[in-house]
Amino acid sequence: MDILIILLILVGVLVIPNIKIVSQARVYVVERIGSYHQTWSNGLHFKIPFIDRIANNVSLKERVEDFPPQPVITKDNVTMQIDTVVYYQITDAKLYTYGIENPLNAIENLTATTLRNIIGDLELDQTLTSRDIINSKMRVILDEATDPWGIKVNRVEVKNILPPRDIQDAMEKQMRAERERREAILRAEGLKRSSILTAEGEKESAILRAEAEKESQIKIAEGEAEALLAIKRAEADGIKLLKESNPNQQVITLKSLETMAKIADGNATKIIIPSDLQNIATIGTTIQEMLKKD
């Protein structure tokens, strides 16, 4: 019974602690008698007591490191502070464990030196407007340098670029002047456009008024012509009807009197009337003969 208890104790002390379960996205680097033996991926594993040792427990997830600002000097001798963010991932746990001592510190120093080299070839204006180029160059250089360490650099981002205060003030003044210049240009273009539209509106209005006046004159002339034509047609129709009716002497005499009355209607100051109606009849006979000739 005592032996069984001893065996159970030995199993509890030696076997159970050496059963390892590796989680997803993690790996264990295992050494055997001081030398690299193998890398355990996720799953159930057992190590030999006193012979195997877990040298490193490595996460394969992507990591983010925000490094503090670094002083860098541009090509035109302007000192500025630039901080970067590096996104990296461990792809080989063995190289990460045995490739370099303190990999994070190595990445930070490599980032600082690479940034200084790149910024040293750029002037201030290029540095402020070339973030994408700086990010791409740094990623390529860092990825190539960290490959022997089992690290892959996925992205490098320049987080902040802080020029000296006097340069910031000068840049703000320049930006303010540029905004004012653009505002003045836009205002002048607006006034110009407004003047053009006003002139075009007045021009179109004058054209429309002239066309309306023209149409009005045409309509008035056409109306007068039609009225005159209607009067002439009425007179012709009256003469025609009078001729066709074969009027007698009394009708002709009456028409003669009406004609003389129209002649005297406000236009004549003196009217000469024949002394007898026989003369009026004679005038009527003459008019009748004219009608017959027509």
Q: Is residue 204 part of a domain?
A: no
Domain boundary among 14, 30, 59: 59
Is residue 52 domain-shared with residue 73, that is, in the same domain?
no
Is residue 82 domain-shared with residue 52, that is, in the same domain?
no
Sequence-distant (6+) residues with CB within 8 A of 291 are 239, 242, 243
Is residue 104 domain-shared with residue 141, that is, in the same domain?
yes
**Residue corresponding to tokens 């925000």:** 66
Q: Is residue 211 part of a domain?
A: no
Q: Which two tokens stand for residue 277?
A: 């109606």
Domain boundary among 163, 184, 204: 163
How many folded domains does the chain comprise?
3
Q: Is residue 233 part of a domain?
A: no
pLDDT tens for the chain, 294 residues long, are 667 777 777 766 677 788 889 999 899 999 999 899 999 999 999 888 889 899 999 999 999 999 888 889 888 888 888 989 999 999 999 999 998 888 889 999 999 999 999 998 888 888 888 888 999 999 999 999 999 999 999 999 998 888 877 777 777 777 788 888 888 888 888 888 888 888 888 888 888 888 888 888 888 888 888 888 888 777 777 667 666 666 555 555 656 556 655 555 555 555 555 554 445 545 555 555 554 545
Q: Which two tokens stand for residue 292?
A: 């017959």
Is residue 75 domain-shared with residue 151, that is, in the same domain?
yes
Q: Is residue 100 part of a domain?
A: yes
Is pTM beyond 0.75 here? no
**What pLDDT, on a 0 to 100 scale, did the predictor assign at position 222?**
83
Q: Is residue 205 part of a domain?
A: no
Q: Please report, for the domain that includes residue 138, its CATH number.
A: 3.30.479.30
Q: Is residue 218 part of a domain?
A: no
Q: Regarding beta strands 35-40 and 26-32, do their DSSP bridges make them parallel or antiparallel, or are they unpaired?
A: antiparallel
Q: Which domain holds residue 121?
A: 63-163
Is residue 49 domain-shared with residue 122, that is, in the same domain?
no
Alpha helices (runs of H) in the chain, residue ranges in sequence order: 2-10, 93-98, 103-119, 124-129, 131-146, 165-244, 249-263, 277-293
Q: Is residue 12 part of a domain?
A: yes
Q: Is residue 14 part of a domain?
A: yes
Q: Which two tokens stand for residue 56?
A: 């490193």
Is residue 94 domain-shared with residue 157, that is, in the same domain?
yes
Could you tell me which residues are beta bridge partners of residue 66? 85
Could you tell me which residues are beta bridge partners of residue 88? 63, 153
Domain boundary among 110, 138, 163: 163
Closest residue by Cα to residue 255 from 285, 230, 229: 285
Is residue 34 domain-shared with residue 92, that is, in the same domain?
no
